[in-house]
Structure 1
Amino acid sequence: MFCFNLFPQADTNYKITYQLTYKPDSTDLAQLKTENFQLFTNAKTSYFLSNAVVSKDSTRRNFGIGDIGSDAYKRAAASWETNFSYRIYKKPLEELVYHCEKIATDNFYYAEDVHFDWQIGQETKTIEGFSTQKATTSFAGRDYTAWFAAAIPISDGPYKFYGLPGLILEIESTDGDYRFTMIGIEKTSFYPVVNTPPKSLQKATKKELLRLQQEYYDDPIGFLNNWVGSNGASVHIGLEGKAKQDHYAKYGKQLAPKMNNFIEIY
């Protein structure tokens, strides 16, 4: 499926596609969902995000304001559904990870010093035609088993994982709640990262970002009605009665049972 001569230089740009299989609801662990992600990576930086976020970015580039509400726009917007709106930027050589989220009209990020204590074992298995080796680690409250391919000289992987002597082709939490598996890899001349993190983002602490997310999640209408964005503009949504109820039904606390089993426990 893949050619070894894809990897003659470690500083080449690659686009790697992963499929995530996960259990979104801690009260219903029999429920499984899948979603695809893209990792853009080279020797110095990497960028990880959901295909749904990629689709949303593309739609916004290809449609103007006048297209909003059109059938074509609605069809494109149907691919935006995701439980993972984050964007992850990494500088592996500096052991830095930047977690980015959009809240209301502004984009925020927090920086983390992330070092993985990998334990490399002797066990091997073949994934997508590549010989891989087993490694284990712990991160944010979960233990993980990873399989990396030393033949692919990219010390990177999905989400915030990196640091092995080869690309991570598969990584799964030992409780089985989260598993990323590589399903595609290619060289690319397109690399969507100029600055890591982008200069347009606002810096916050992890605690501040989580607090803003929670406030928006608990009362999206109230949050937006009182929000003042980075450009000084305020947002007001005058929803009352059934319209307000319908908005809460779609975006508010009623969604809590559907996505409460987060990849990071702490």
Structure 2
Amino acid sequence: MKFNFCSLLVFFAFLNLSAQGNRFIYEYQFKIDSTKTDSLKKEFVNLDIFPEKSYFYGQAKFASDSIANNSIIKQRKINPNEISYSTNMEDWNVSYLVEKPYPVTKTTWFTKIEETNLIIEENPILKWNILPETQKIENYNCQKATLSFGGRIWEAWFSKDLPFPDGPYKFHGLPGLIVKLQDKTKSHQFLLKGNRKLTANDHSWNYIWDLEKEAKHEFNGVKVTPTQYKKLYLSYKNDPAKDIKLDLADPHTTMTVTTEGGAKLTDKAEIIKYFEQSMAEKFKTNNNQLELNLYKK
């Protein structure tokens, strides 16, 4: 059974009932290393749905960027050429943002390769197969649907009790919000754990953008296609400290990096070596991305 896109228009009327938007909180479990059964990670992610668009992002990354950008703003006011920040690569893994306008004719994926902000616009055609199976999940009446996407086979459970044709990451287009989603290997699993209406005082991703523009004077986003992104990623994988080297090549720039172990690095050669080694280790173990076809040759 295929879902008619025209039926989506009925659900957009519900979006106007909450001008401030709704926040849906998912528990995201994922196995970062396909070769290890004990590499399962857990992170909470937000899907903020507004009348005209939605934002999907990681809670920990959002909090980290809020703190970091506020710190950079203060530091630049004192000394524009001296930057100090802490890093803990184990705190979060969802470091990207997915924006979907309504009706969804494209998705915009904001991500980063080291210091370069990337904007990837796509026109995904998600061919869902809606099945008659139903079950109750997290107190919602749900129905099953399947999909082939990103080199994986996905199983989704959506609920018409939540009249939003959206879901985590780039997934959308079902006649109700996706409550549960997992791939066939169960390497990636999303489960809706809570939701609430947003108020004018709640920060969404626009808050981060405003901070970043102030911290860096402008948002330098480079538009690329998915194919170009893949080439850039593979090139970065071969030289993960390239941008750090360019930053430290300026004789007037000093940098202090606090490592996961609490050590403070100020020597430029040590900082470069640290990033090369830590990123090489991360690439080695982080081999089971959600969209497999974007990260492998």
Same fold (TM over 0.5): yes
Q: How does 1:95-110 map to 2 (within 5 A)?
A: 95-110=105-120
Q: How does 1:45-56 map to 2 (within 5 A)?
A: 45-56=53-64
Q: How does 1:9-28 map to 2 (within 5 A)?
A: 9-11=14-16, 12=18, 13-28=21-36
What is the CA–CA distance in structure 2 between the aligned matches of 1:50 and 1:185, rounded to whole Å?
15
Structure 1 segments (4+ residues) deviating >6 Å = 234-238
Q: 1:100: Cα distance to partner?
A: 1.1
- 2:230 partner letter: L
Cα distance change, pair 218–84 in 1 and its aligned pair in 2 (3 A): farther
Measured on the aligned residues, the alpha-carbon RMSD in Å equals: 3.1
2:242 is aligned, of 219, 222, 225, to: 222
TM-score (norm 2): 0.72
Q: How does 1:241-252 map to 2 (within 5 A)?
A: 244-251=272-279
The answer to whether the aligner puts 1:42 opposite 2:70 as a matched pair is: no
Cα distance change, pair 84–217 in 1 and its aligned pair in 2 (3 A): farther
Unaligned runs of 5+ in 2: 1-12, 211-217, 256-266
- 2:15 partner letter: A
The answer to whether the aligner puts 1:84 opposite 2:90 as a matched pair is: no
Cα distance change, pair 264–92 in 1 and its aligned pair in 2 (3 A): farther
Q: How does 1:107-186 map to 2 (within 5 A)?
A: 107-186=117-196
Q: 1:29: Cα distance to partner?
A: 3.5
- 1:245 partner letter: K
The match for 2:281 is: 254
- 1:34 partner letter: K
Cα distance change, pair 78–192 in 1 and its aligned pair in 2 (3 A): same
| Residue pair 2:54, 2:101 contacting (<8 A) in 1 also | yes
Size of the aligned set, in residue pairs, is 244
| Residue pair 1:156, 1:162 contacting (<8 A) in 2 also | yes
Cα distance change, pair 248–185 in 1 and its aligned pair in 2 (3 A): same
The match for 1:4 is: none
- 1:265 partner letter: L
Identity of paired residues, percent?
A: 28
| Residue pair 2:115, 2:243 contacting (<8 A) in 1 also | no
Cα distance change, pair 80–23 in 1 and its aligned pair in 2 (3 A): closer
What is the CA–CA distance in structure 1 between the aligned matches of 2:104 and 2:224, rounded to whole Å?
20
Unaligned runs of 5+ in 1: 1-7, 228-233
Cα shift readout 1:199-229 (whole Å, capped 9, x = no counterpart):
94331122222333333333233344347xx
The match for 1:231 is: none
